[in-house]
Chain A
């Protein structure tokens, strides 16, 4: 299972401990997280399900390539990090 970790910055607003989920893409992994933590969705994605402009997602050390589709493939043991981009201040 892939492991998804969130910036501690988000803990100011809601609980989001690291979770292990199944998924073949960044999108599918995140959707499984949101299924159990629905409030988190609006903090990471906008209303068009795009990554928010000042949120960064890394997969095994690489930033995602398509911030709208989030269709980067992930491995069974991938490590995903959802972080605040420093562009957000």
Chain B
């Protein structure tokens, strides 16, 4: 099985590949100098997508048919639908605009060319033509609960996780910071919120269990058991065995339950990885020792994985999309805002650094 990792950074899209000589980081990156918020190598047709967040000139999506040698600019999701043509100058000044393409996912295997894009300030978009054009999902945007969403890490709320059920492409689940977990069984025509069991101790008591204010930093599903979900939440680690109808927390998480990233084993729903940190006031590794934590029993216990990772004076922060597991269940990619990139080939028991000098990393993603 070929292994290739796409690394989205503040200064371009890098690629690492595994060959007979082991893992190697390729230079130079695509889009050198431009922030890349997300990348996706579509397992259905081999198309490579990149979402750029140009500091001055807006969000741009690009597609490559040759794994990054040449690129074509696509349409970008648009909030033109949210304009109030009768609202005058004040409404024009307040009209939401696309700020970040935060998540990019393929539709189902039976939906060639379909893509989903989660954005800040909170809109979900779908393309049916390989990203050339995008349609806003009005059903979710128009939910009254959206008025209670708020920004998490950014000024405005955003959709960072999109799960398309491999058994049923109509079943789509999204994670919102800060706005809970939402699921649809009709390809986005209607939505229900699923956060029962989640809580937010950092909110006023009466809002602690309010579904629409929960902050799931990252939401993932086991490929072989799509009802087995994991969330690294602002308040800790939560898991569900029933597609999000009920969540339970994992209070034994060590060395802490705070973090942003989570990855779940593609075959075994009880195995998941996290990158713990001191909770929200600090967001740095506990005792300045950078480690990964792993559970193999569904969150009852956690192991600390540290071989090959920096043991002292390490202040690496791993963003929510910067930990990924390959379809083989053994290869992991991990990268930090300090520009470190590590790979493990044995489920996290041992890590190897591919670079200590990358730009700040936003996301890593294996080609499936």
Among B55-63, B158-166, B234-242, B335-343, the stretch in contact with A: B55-63
Report if B98 contacts A (CB, 8 A): yes
Known: A42-B58, A43-B58. A48 touches B73 (CB 8 A): no
B92–A46 CB distance below 8 A: no
Give the complex CA separation of A9 and B97 in angstroms. Answer: 22
Residue from the list B56, B80, B89, B97 in contact with A55, Cβ < 8 A: B56
Alpha-carbon distance between A82 and B80 when the two chains are bound, in angstroms = 23
Return chain A residues, CB-CB under 8 Å to B57: 10, 13, 42-44, 52, 55, 84
Instruction: Specify which of A39, A46, A54, A84 is in contact with B97 (CB 8 Å cutoff).
Output: A46
Q: Are B93 and A88 in contact (CB under 8 A)?
A: no
Distance A42 CA – B73 CA, assembled complex (angstroms): 11
Is there contact, CB below 8 Å, between A88 and B55? yes
Which residues on A sit within 8 Å (CB–CB) of B16?
A: none
> Does B79 belong to the interface (CB within 8 Å)?
yes
Q: Flag whether A12 is at the interface (Cβ < 8 A).
A: yes
A77 on interface, CB distance cutoff 8 Å: no
Q: Please determine whether A68 and B98 come into contact, CB atoms closer than 8 angstroms.
A: no
Distance, CA A39 to CA B73, complexed state (A): 9
CA A39 – CA B79 in complex, angstroms? Answer: 18
Cβ–Cβ < 8 Å partners of A88 in chain B: 55-56
**A68–B89 CA distance with the chains assembled, in angstroms:** 8
**CA separation between A10 and B57, bound complex, in Å?**
8
- Residue A89 lies at the interface, judged by CB distance under 8 Å to chain B: yes
Q: What does the 1/0 interface line of A62-81 toward B look like (CB < 8 Å)?
A: 00000011000000000000
Q: Report whether B92 and A50 are in contact in the complex, using a CB–CB cutoff of 8 Å.
A: yes
Most buried by A among B54, B56, B60, B76: B56
Of residues 53 to 90 in B, which have CB atoms within 8 Å of A's CB atoms?
54-58, 60, 73, 76, 78-80, 83, 89
Q: How far is the CB of B158 from chain A (nearest CB, A)?
A: 17
CA distance A13 to B34 in the complex (A): 10
Decide: A54 near B55, CB < 8 A? Known: A48-B80, A68-B89: yes
A47-B97, A48-B97, A55-B57 known; A12 vs B78 contact (CB < 8 Å): no
Q: Which residues of A contact B78 (CB under 8 A)?
A: 47
| Smallest CB gap from A9: residue in B | B56
Is there contact, CB below 8 Å, between A68 and B80? no
B33–A68 CB distance below 8 A: no
Complex Cα–Cα for A54 and B80 (A): 19
Which residues from A are CB-within-8-Å of B76?
A: 42
B56 touches A54 (CB 8 A): yes
- Give CA–CA (A43, B57) in the complex, Å: 4
B246 at interface (Cβ–Cβ under 8 A)?
A: no
- Bound CA–CA A9/B92 (angstroms): 28
Q: Is there a chain B Cβ closer than 8 Å to A19's Cβ?
A: no
Cα–Cα, bound, A10→B79 (Å)? 23
Query: Beta-carbon contacts of B95-131 to A below 8 Å, as 1s and 0s?
Result: 1011000000000000000000000000000000000
Residue ranges of A at the interface with B (Cβ–Cβ < 8 Å): 9-10, 12-13, 39, 42-44, 46-48, 50, 52, 54-55, 68-69, 84-85, 88-89
Instruction: Write the residues of chain B forming the contact surface with A, with a CB cutoff of 8 angstroms.
Output: 33, 54-58, 60, 73, 76, 78-80, 83, 89, 92-93, 95, 97-98
Task: Add 18 more A-B contacts to A54-B55, A68-B89 (CB < 8 A).
Answer: A12-B33, A39-B73, A42-B60, A46-B58, A46-B98, A47-B78, A47-B79, A47-B98, A48-B79, A48-B83, A48-B95, A48-B97, A50-B95, A50-B97, A54-B56, A68-B93, A88-B55, A88-B56
Give 19 pairs: A residue, B residue, CB < 8 Å, sorted on A. A10-B57, A39-B73, A42-B57, A42-B60, A43-B57, A43-B58, A47-B78, A47-B79, A47-B80, A47-B98, A50-B92, A50-B97, A54-B56, A55-B56, A68-B92, A84-B55, A84-B56, A84-B57, A88-B55
